[in-house]
């Protein structure tokens, strides 16, 4: 018979006074019985197999109404909230519902969040008839909603609904994976159950090889990458052969591989794009991610042809249009044909040969082999990193300030009851709007900083150009083309290279 694995969290709770009075089910007793139940899950629900993924315990007062407050007061609630959002388990096992919280509102919030995430709450004292989330959600849904309405202030309901809607966006903003853990990383739980994300080394090696070596350094088109990966024995996440779609998926995830948390990347409803520093170890650097994005933009919309050394390396000095390969080359006798380039807008007189371009580039490389010349280039370089770092620090201080204001408002509303629903909502909305705006600024600042840092690394790149440039130009055409585009921009006027920029 087919067995369904059910990931279980064991939840135990006692308040300190209960424990003193030797509660009928003490903490160790609750733990033991929960584990026993999980081990014997198949007896209660045939065809299932229970697996314990975490044990959470709360000692102390649970007279808390709001989940936010509970999370602040007890680590177990924080972890429970996190695991629900990550859908890290299927069944929440406890002695009775009242172990989840003292107040109905808190119990209901947690049950509702569980249901939304497809998790079933199983109090041993009143087990659900079946472990079918869809059915449970349908039966329980209405009951939950009415309970919610009777127990929550209107602001609380709004907050609850917002959590569901914006949960994933918020997770991204908090730097966590928006949904499940993607290929490239694994989760590990340490002894106290804290989750750590670490790199899956073999997956990461494949990802780096495809994106950095094949796509970026060797300038390969996607179809060639597919062939190379398959020939060399690399396989996808599911152990299958690579396809173009699978390689394209890697390209779509470069921001994430670089450690950026993203959400609403392609929202059809126009939801706000969210990007923040992720809380996972990056697989590639932010500079690499940017280079890949630029490479994609550069390749987009044209049939990609890496056969020509100077494809997409040059700009027309007159109109700033691209310089493209002129006319069709006879594919039967390519060695006999002189490759020429022209302005895409057909500016008058713009026609330049392959040899002319190469000569100019080699001159530039030779010029850079002189140390003094490299120093001259570097002297003219502005340093903007400190400016951006200061701006980032200021924005982060503003965020901290908003958080403080929110805590004060929460306290005034929940504990002191000094704010009306209306005022509390107004303050919350205002703080949310401010926070969103600053998060957007921060994302922009981080990418500006990455740009500035890249600029500052020019010294290393110039040294590379000087030492390896000639050899690269004489090597494989696709690799040389990718290398030129990474390091230079050529400008063409008439049939001459007018100037060369270092990138």
Task: Find the shortest distance in angstroms from Cβ 174 to Zn ion.
Answer: 48
Our CB check for Zn ion shows the closer of 318 and 456 to be: 318
Our CB check for Zn ion shows the closer of 175 and 321 to be: 321
Residue in 65, 92, 220, 347 binding Zn ion, rule: CB under 5 A = 347
Report CA 222 to chain centroid distance, whole Å. 23
Task: Find the shortest distance in angstroms from Cβ 351 to Zn ion.
Answer: 11
Site membership for Zn ion, residue 324 (CB under 5 A): no
Our CB check for Zn ion shows the closer of 344 and 412 to be: 344
Of 209, 210, 234, the C-alpha closest to 221 is 210
Could you tell me the two tokens for 433? 């709007």
Task: Find the shortest distance in angstroms from Cβ 364 to Zn ion.
Answer: 21
Site membership for Zn ion, residue 321 (CB under 5 A): yes
Stretch of residues binding Zn ion (CB under 5 A), selected from 218-226, 321-329, 371-379, 486-494: 321-329
Of 212, 209, 202, 214, the C-alpha closest to 239 is 202
Residue in 212, 216, 316, 324 binding Zn ion, rule: CB under 5 A = 316
Task: Find the shortest distance in angstroms from Cβ 329 to Zn ion.
Answer: 21
Task: Find the shortest distance in angstroms from Cβ 493 to Zn ion.
Answer: 9
Our CB check for Zn ion shows the closer of 319 and 393 to be: 319
Our CB check for Zn ion shows the closer of 136 and 311 to be: 311
Stretch of residues binding Zn ion (CB under 5 A), selected from 24-32, 106-114, 223-231, 335-343: 335-343
Our CB check for Zn ion shows the closer of 110 and 352 to be: 352
Site membership for Zn ion, residue 345 (CB under 5 A): yes
Q: How far apart are CA 415 and CA 261, in angstroms?
A: 34
Q: Spell out the SS3 assignment of 119-147.
A: CEEEECCCCCCCCCHHHHHHHHHHHHHHH
Residue in 306, 339, 343, 357 binding Zn ion, rule: CB under 5 A = 343
Query: Which ranges of 27-180 does DSSP label H, i.e. alpha helix?
Result: 27-39, 41-44, 67-73, 75-85, 104-116, 133-151, 154-173
| Angle (nearest 5°) at CA 265 between 259 and 269 | 155
Site membership for Zn ion, residue 319 (CB under 5 A): yes
Residues 6+ apart with CB under 8 A from 480: 309, 472, 473, 474
User: What one-character DSSP code corresponds to residue 322?
Assistant: B
- Asked if 349 and 494 touch (Cβ cutoff 8 Å), the reply is yes
Task: Find the shortest distance in angstroms from Cβ 303 to Zn ion.
Answer: 21
Site membership for Zn ion, residue 323 (CB under 5 A): no
User: What one-character DSSP code corresponds to residue 300?
Assistant: T
Residue in 48, 139, 224, 318 binding Zn ion, rule: CB under 5 A = 318
**Residue at token pair 């994609």:** 296
Number of C-alpha atoms within 13 angstroms, CB side, residue 35? 9
Task: Find the shortest distance in angstroms from Cβ 224 to Zn ion.
Answer: 31
Where does this chain bind Zn ion (CB under 5 A)? 316, 318-319, 321, 343, 345, 347
């Amino acid at each position: 018979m087919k067995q369904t694995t059910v990931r279980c969290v064991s939840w135990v709770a006692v308040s300190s006074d209960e424990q003193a009075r030797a509660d009928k089910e003490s903490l160790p007793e609750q733990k033991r019985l929960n584990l026993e139940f999980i081990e014997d899950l198949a007896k209660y629900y045939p065809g299932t197999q229970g697996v314990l993924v975490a044990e959470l315990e709360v000692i102390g007062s649970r007279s808390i109404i709001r989940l936010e407050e509970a999370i602040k007061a007890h680590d177990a609630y924080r972890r429970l909230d996190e695991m629900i959002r990550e859908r890290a388990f299927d069944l929440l096992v406890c002695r009775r519902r009242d172990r989840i919280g003292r107040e109905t509102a808190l119990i209901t919030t947690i049950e509702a969040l569980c249901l939304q995430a497809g998790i079933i709450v199983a109090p041993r004292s009143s087990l659900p008839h079946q472990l079918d989330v869809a059915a449970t959600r349908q039966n329980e849904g209405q009951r939950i909603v009415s309970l919610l309405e009777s127990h929550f202030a209107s602001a609380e309901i709004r907050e609850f609904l917002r959590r569901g809607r914006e949960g994933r966006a918020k997770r991204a903003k908090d730097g966590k994976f928006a949904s499940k853990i993607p290929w490239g990383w694994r989760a590990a739980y340490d002894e106290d159950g804290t989750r750590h994300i670490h790199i899956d080394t073999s997956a990461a090696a494949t990802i780096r090889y495809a994106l950095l070596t094949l796509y970026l350094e060797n300038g390969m088109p996607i179809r060639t990458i597919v062939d190379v990966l398959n020939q060399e024995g690399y396989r996808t996440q599911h152990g299958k052969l690579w396809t173009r779609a699978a390689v394209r998926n890697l390209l779509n995830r470069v921001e994430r591989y670089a450690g950026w948390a993203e959400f609403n990347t392609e929202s059809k409803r126009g939801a706000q794009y969210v990007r923040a520093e992720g809380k996972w170890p990056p697989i590639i650097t932010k500079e690499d991610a940017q280079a890949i994005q630029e490479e994609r933009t550069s390749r987009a919309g044209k049939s990609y042809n890496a056969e020509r050394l100077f494809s997409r390396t040059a700009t027309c000095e007159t109109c700033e249009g691209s310089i493209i390969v002129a006319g069709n080359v006879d594919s039967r006798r390519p060695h006999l044909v002189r490759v020429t380039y022209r302005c895409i807008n057909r500016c008058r007189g713009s026609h330049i040969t392959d040899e002319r371009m190469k000569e100019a580039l080699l001159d530039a490389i030779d010029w850079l082999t002189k140390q003094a010349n490299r120093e001259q280039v570097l002297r003219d370089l502005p340093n903007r990193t400190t400016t951006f770092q200061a701006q980032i620090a200021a924005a982060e201080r503003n965020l901290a300030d908003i958080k403080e204001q929110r805590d004060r408002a929460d306290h005034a509303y929940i504990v002191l009851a000094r704010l009306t629903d209306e005022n509390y909502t107004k303050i919350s909305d205002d703080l949310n709007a401010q926070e969103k705006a600053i998060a957007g600024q921060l994302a922009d600042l981080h990418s500006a900083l990455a740009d500035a840092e890249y600029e500052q690394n020019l010294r290393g790149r110039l040294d590379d150009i000087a030492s390896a440039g000639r050899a690269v130009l004489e090597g494989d055409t696709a690799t040389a083309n990718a290398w030129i585009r990474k390091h230079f921009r050529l400008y063409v006027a008439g049939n001459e290279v007018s100037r060369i920029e270092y990138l």
